[in-house]
């Protein structure tokens, strides 16, 4: 499953299934920009920084919980004000890929993105 | 009348400058079209390689233009197709240390340029020079230690901002406010400059021009074609305190060299001059001053161009450029005095054309 959305917020369900493997999250910052993320499971901070294949928990333990991913992208690319964030979720019932993108109205701005996943 | 227009433009742009403090001249400008170089009206004959934005436009007015009109008669529009859309899979590392193919795609720009060569008279129709140009560049070498340190600091600032939001609460999500503060802007400015420090930046460009008589597309004659390689090297001038996260920036110093081959059909006999030039550029956020010297060889009339170039940022979208010096002997039938005044409008930072759709 893959979606590309021109927005800064995303709410989706992610089916964790009944597998044993952990659910992994990667956050890819695109358009040659740089930034960082913070990941929360319900109200608890799970990870921060550059998120690559981050183990967010076992499918059975995640079911019914929420994961918030907040990412701030700074427009450091002098060739474009476009920013984008791609969320990759694997280890559940299937893989999911969601891309949010947004063009900063001014050069050098910080662009916050928020994604809320509900594990079902 | 021409002076009145120039003064008016300057005053208007100075008024705009009152609210424009966070865009550097380097961010603002797209270099003139390569065709302007062949037309002899580019502010510099040794342009530093650059990274073009999606769209750029230039108006240039040479003081020794033969036309008597007050309006600038030289226009160029640059398009960098790659940046017209988003590239979600392009990481910073891929962007900053691209392979040859990726470098070509992300730096390719195509430009169209026009210059009124002569105004219409009672006995002769107006003539216009039209040109098309392309260029692409490649940033070589590894990032400097300073660049890495500033990148880490920006990433940490991003994480800090992300943590402020905390976990999302129930209910529909709302987008957090965009972030703009002087501390981050200063870091980004330093980062952009440090990105080139200690690295070679190579650009290839090609252009061709034709003369249109009577502004009739059917009445065109080929004038010049050329291609050239430009290389630049930025000296390490930035320092960064990782403890206090403060940047100490000195004015940039760039060394630029160019090797240009031209096929010139403007005379009775075709010539193929070879230009070899050097330029030293000193630049701050608002001001850029440079000196250049270009030797033209293998032409029937070997000569040189020596010029001083000044550029000044007036607002977030407007910069002025002025060039004075001595041009090649065969460049302009009206004399070899080089006096070019230009206004550059950057439409990339605050797009006039919405490229997001």
Residue B123 clears pLDDT 50, i.e. is over it: yes
CB interface of B with A, residues 26-65, below 8 Å: 26-27, 51-54
**Looking at residues B89-107, what average pLDDT do you find?**
95
Task: In whole angstroms, give the CA distance from residue B239 to residue A25.
Answer: 36
Helix (H, G, I), strand (E, B) or coil at B53: coil
B171 touching chain A per CB within 8 A: no
| Residue A102 β-bridge partners | A83
**pLDDT (tens digit per residue) in A3-45:** 999 999 999 999 998 878 899 999 999 999 999 999 999 999 9
> B34 vs chain A: nearest CA distance in angstroms?
18
Determine the residue of chain B that is closest to A87 in CA distance. B88
Instruction: Please determine, for residue B1, whether its predicted confidence score (pLDDT) is greater than 50.
Output: no
Placement of tokens 């730096």 in the chain: B107
Judge contact between B276 and B295, C-beta under 8 A: yes
Query: Which DSSP state fits B83?
Result: G
- Please give the pLDDT value at position B157: 95
Residue B77 burial (C-beta neighbours within 10 Å; 0-12, 13-18, 19+): middle
Gap from A95 CA to chain B (nearest CA, Å): 17
Asked if B83 has any chain A CB less than 8 Å from its own CB, the reply is yes
The nearest CA of chain A is from the CA of B357 a distance in Å of 9
- Res. B355: pLDDT tops 90: no
Contacts of A117 in chain B (CB under 8 A): none
How far are the Cα atoms of A93, A116, B9 from residue A60, in angstroms, in the given order? 12, 19, 67
Interface confidence (ipTM) of the complex: 0.95
Contacts of B191 (CB under 8 A, 6+ apart): A76, B147, B150, B151, B154
Chain A, chain B: beta-carbon pairs less than 8 Å apart: 183
Sign of the C-alpha dihedral, residues A72, A75, A76, A80? Answer: positive
Q: What are phi and psi of B203, to 5 degrees?
A: -130, 135
Least confident interval from B121-125, B199-203, B316-320: B316-320
Q: Do B27 and B192 touch, CB atoms closer than 8 A?
A: yes
Q: Does B300 touch chain A (CB under 8 A)?
A: no
Contact B178 A75 (CB under 8 A): no
Q: Give the pTM.
A: 0.81
Query: Which of B178, B185, B355 is opposite residue A111, by nearest beta carbon?
Result: B178
pLDDT above 90 (res B40) = no
Query: B276: which strand partners?
Result: B259, B295
The stretch B319-340 carries a mean pLDDT of 82
Total residues belonging to chain A: 120
From residue A91, alpha-carbon distances to A10, A17, A53, B97, B129 in Å are 20, 9, 10, 32, 62
Find out whether A110 and A70 touch, Cβ atoms under 8 Å: no
């Amino acid at each position: 499953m893959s979606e590309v959305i021109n927005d800064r917020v995303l709410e989706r369900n992610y089916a964790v299934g009944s597998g044993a493997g952990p659910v992994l999250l990667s956050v890819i910052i695109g358009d040659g920009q740089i930034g960082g993320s913070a990941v929360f499971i319900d109200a608890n901070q799970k990870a921060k920084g550059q998120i690559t294949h981050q183990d967010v928990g076992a499918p059975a333990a995640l079911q019914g919980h929420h994961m918030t991913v907040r990412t701030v992208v700074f427009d450091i690319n002098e060739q474009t004000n476009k920013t984008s964030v791609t969320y990759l979720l694997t280890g559940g019932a299937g893989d999911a890929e969601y891309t949010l993108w947004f063009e900063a109205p001014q050069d050098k701005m910080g662009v916050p993105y928020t994604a809320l996943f509900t594990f079902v | 009348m021409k002076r009145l227009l120039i003064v008016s433009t300057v005053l208007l742009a100075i008024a705009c400058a009152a609210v424009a403090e966070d865009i550097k001249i380097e961010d603002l400008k797209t270099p003139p079209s390569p065709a302007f170089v062949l037309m002899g009206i580019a502010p510099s004959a040794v342009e530093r390689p650059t990274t073009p934005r999606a769209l750029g436009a230039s108006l240039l007015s040479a003081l020794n233009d033969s036309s008597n009109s007050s309006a600038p008669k030289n226009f160029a529009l640059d398009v960098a197709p790659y940046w017209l859309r988003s590239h979600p899979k392009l990481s910073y590392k891929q962007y900053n240390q691209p392979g040859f193919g990726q470098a070509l795609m992300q730096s390719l720009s195509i430009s169209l340029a026009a210059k009124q060569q002569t105004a219409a008279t009672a006995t002769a129709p107006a003539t216009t020079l039209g040109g098309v140009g392309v260029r692409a560049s490649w940033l070589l070498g590894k990032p400097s230690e300073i660049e890495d340190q500033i990148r880490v600091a920006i990433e940490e600032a991003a994480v800090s901002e992300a943590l402020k939001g905390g976990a999302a609460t129930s209910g529909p999500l709302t987008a957090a406010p965009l972030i703009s503060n002087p501390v981050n802007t200063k870091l980004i400015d330093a980062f952009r400059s440090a990105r080139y420090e200690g690295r070679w930046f190579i650009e290839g460009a090609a252009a061709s021009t034709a003369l249109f008589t009577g502004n009739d597309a059917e009445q065109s004659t080929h004038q010049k074609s050329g291609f050239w390689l430009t290389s630049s090297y930025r000296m390490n001038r930035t320092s960064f305190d990782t403890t206090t996260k403060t940047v100490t920036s000195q004015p940039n110093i760039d060394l630029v060299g160019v090797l240009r081959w031209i096929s010139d059909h403007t005379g009775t006999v075709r010539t193929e001059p070879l230009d070899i030039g050097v330029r030293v550029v000193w630049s701050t956020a608002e001001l850029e001053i440079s000196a250049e010297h270009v030797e033209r060889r293998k032409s029937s009339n070997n000569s040189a161009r020596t010029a001083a170039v000044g550029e000044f940022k007036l607002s977030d979208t407007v910069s002025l450029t002025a060039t004075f010096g001595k041009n090649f002997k065969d460049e302009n039938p009206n004399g070899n005095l080089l006096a070019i005044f230009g206004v550059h409008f950057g439409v990339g930072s605050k797009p006039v054309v919405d490229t997001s759709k």
